[in-house]
Structure formats: structure tokens, C-alpha cells
Structure 1
Amino acid sequence: MEMGDEKSLQRLWDLRNLLNGEWIPDVLVALSSGPLRRGELLEKIRSTRVRNGWSDSDTRNLADTVMQRTLLRLEMSEMVDHTRDERVFPPVSLYQLSTAAEELFATLEGPAIWAEEHGDLIKRVQQRRRGAEDAD
């Protein structure tokens, strides 16, 4: 595939739609260090100090029901694997990145570096968009 052709355009749209969701980056980053129970995952996300600069969402306000919907969506898109061990009591339920998600996560270093190097541009765009929303 050559970047710039219609196939690359389709793949960029596919990625955008696959990863579209307010809490999806938080879940992927939290699970990148290994499997977690849902409560552990929720607590890890709530304890982060990173705010979503685009919407100003506060990660400490992530509700358990929203987390559950996000995890189901990621399971359906095969980005997160969910296992449940019924042999122990209480049963242990774990979430972890799928192999495909781990591969994708590894490729995101380049775009993350680009975003770091262009942080001033990102901040200006965020401010403009917030100003445009306030004007509506």
C-alpha cells in the first residue's frame, strides 16, 4: 500500500472508526502494561492526571457503566480480550490488549512523537475549536 492512494484513505478511515470513542485511548494505554480486572482498570484510568484537552473530560469522572460499554465495544472490535476463570471463587475476570491491539499500540509511537513535537500547533487548534463551540 502506498500512502496517498484510495486504499490508504480507506485504512485511515477504518482506524479512525475502530478507535473512535472518548475512553478508548485511556483503556488501551492502561492495558498496555498488562491484564487488569475491570475495577483495577477503572481505578488506573481514574488515577491518571491526563485530561482530554479536546473535550476537557476528567478521567476521575469515568462511570463504571461507561467503562463497561467501552470494554464491550473494544471486545467487539477485537482490540481487547476478556477472560473469566470460573475455577476460582470469586471468578477472576481479566481484560487485556489483543495481539492486534498490541501491534497497533507499538506503531503509535511515531504519531505520539509527532504530537509531542507539534504540541504548540495542537494547543492552538484546541483553543480555536473551543472558541468556535463557545460562539455557537
Structure 2
Amino acid sequence: MGYLLNADLTLLANFTNPNRKVNVDFSYMYIELYYKNTLIATRSIDHFSAARSETKLANVEMVTSQVQLPLKDSEQLQNQMASNRIQFEVLGFFRARSKFGSILRYSYWLYGRCTIVVSSPPGGVLVGKKCRTKH
């Protein structure tokens, strides 16, 4: 049957506009948190703009309550907790839009994927990450 997972994980998301000529508007943003193949939390982020060469940070609190894990995944979670290295997947979906003057607008979707490793609760901290973003 599996077991129920309760977790509270806070992520600091980094949004950078590397372009030196135009501002970028970020909208329709949401982040999903997975343990193995089980979606355990989803969170949206309010839209914002990043000026040229600007970096914005967003605190994203992912709270799970009574999420049922398959028995095999629950056993793996227990093993990871015992070894003090718990692995999660974080997926992000974002719409970015830039304006070139008053006529030309360019819009595209960004997809972020991170594998993060945290130490065991209650005071777990980030011990490893691997991230990539693509259009």
C-alpha cells in the first residue's frame, strides 16, 4: 500500500535575464516537486519582470501533506533518510516574453529540471544539485 509523506521544502529559485538590451517578463510560472515518479507538491509563482542583466530570486515553499507513496518508493525514501541523502526532482515551467521596441514581441516557454539532494529532516539542507533549462 505504501506510506504517507508529509514534507516542507523551501526552494530559492534564481531567474536571470542575461540579455543586456531588453527586459524579460516572466509569467504562467509553476514548479512541481517529485519523489521518484510521484508528484508530491505543485506551486505557482507570481509574474514579474527582470530588467536587462538582472537576477531575481523567489522563495518557493513546497508543502506536502498525506501524499501516498508506493511501497517500493517508501522503502527507498527510508533508505535515503538513513544515508542522509534524499533525492527529489524539481520541474519548472515558465513563459518568458521580451519586447524589442514598440512593435516586435518575442515569447517562448522555458522548462527547468533539477535533481536536488538534501540531508535528512528535520534540519535538512541542500547537499547537491544538477539543473538545466531549455526552450
Decide: shared fold, TM above 0.5. Answer: no
Q: TM-score normalised by the shorter chain: which range applies? A: under 0.3
Compute the TM-score of the two structures, normalised by the length of structure 2. 0.23
Bigger strand fraction? 2
Compute the TM-score of the two structures, normalised by the length of structure 1. 0.23
Bigger helix fraction? 1
With a CA cutoff of 8 Å and minimum separation of 6, indicate the structure with the bigger relative contact order. Answer: 2
